[in-house]
Structure 1
Amino acid sequence: MKLIIAIVQRKDANPLIDSLTEGGFKVTKIASTGGFLKSGNTTLLVGVEQQEVDNVISRIKEKCKGETKSVETEDSLAKSIKTYDSYSDKKEVKVGGATVFVIDVDKFKKV
């Protein structure tokens, strides 16, 4: 058995959950926050047999598309001395998609 942990953007979570449950997969949803952009994410836990891993990952790829987002960055020196007149610049970063972990499960028991 495998445990799939998928960290997705909050906006992608419900369509992905719908797709997974339509496929007969059971999903646990956990609200989470990303460290880089500090934006809302959702972490999904899906327990599956080995032969179902590729099906779940395909559904994740289908529902979780990445995009480019412009974010403000501060000059590291200005940030370190905490000036109010700090230099800021915009940087393009890729957001969205999904971060997926597939973990071996030694034992599973529903009680």
Structure 2
Amino acid sequence: MKMVIAVVQDKDSGRLSQMLVKSGFRATKLASTGGFLRAGNTTFLIGTSDESVQDVIDIISQSCKSRKQMVTPVSPLGNAVDSFMPYPLEVQVGGAAVFVLDVESFHSF
């Protein structure tokens, strides 16, 4: 048995959730926040058989697309530095960070 952990951007979470249910996979969704952009994410916990891991990864890759976004960086020291002039940066957002872990045992009560 495997645990697939997928951290996806909130914009992609609804589509991913629907595709997982449609394909017969159940998942637990957790609200999470990214550290760099401080943007909303959704973390999916998906328990599945070893044989179905690639199917889950395929669904995630079809549902979660990366895109570019302009962001203004936050001052490295908060508001303490008056001379810090942030310039907008183009960064890649979206997509998914996927981790696959071995599950030693599973219990349902």
TM-score by length of 2: 0.92
Taking structure 1 as reference, are residues 74 and 40 closer, same or farther at Cα in structure 2, changes over 3 Å only?
closer
Taking structure 1 as reference, are residues 82 and 25 closer, same or farther at Cα in structure 2, changes over 3 Å only?
same
Corresponding pairs, count = 109
**What pairs up with 1:48-63 in 2 under 5 angstroms?**
48-63=48-63
* Further displaced range: 82-91 or 100-109: 82-91
Equivalent pair of 2:75/2:81 in contact (CA under 8 Å): no
Unaligned runs of 5+ in 1: none
Q: Of the candidates 81, 87, 90, which is equivalent to residue 83 of structure 1?
A: 81
Higher strand share: 1
Q: Of the candidates 94, 97, 100, which is equivalent to residue 96 of structure 1?
A: 94
Higher helix share: 1
Task: Give me the identity figure in percent.
Answer: 42
Equivalent pair of 1:74/1:87 in contact (CA under 8 Å): no
Q: Distance in 2 between matches of 1:75 and 1:46?
A: 37
CA shift, 1:91, in A, is 1.3
CA shift, 1:94, in A, is 0.6
CA shift, 1:64, in A, is 0.3
Shift >3 Å, 4+ stretches: none
SS at match of 1:88: coil
Aligned-residue Cα RMSD (Å) equals: 1.7
In terms of Rg, which structure is larger? 1
Residue 69 of structure 2 corresponds to which residue in structure 1?
69
SS at match of 1:73: coil
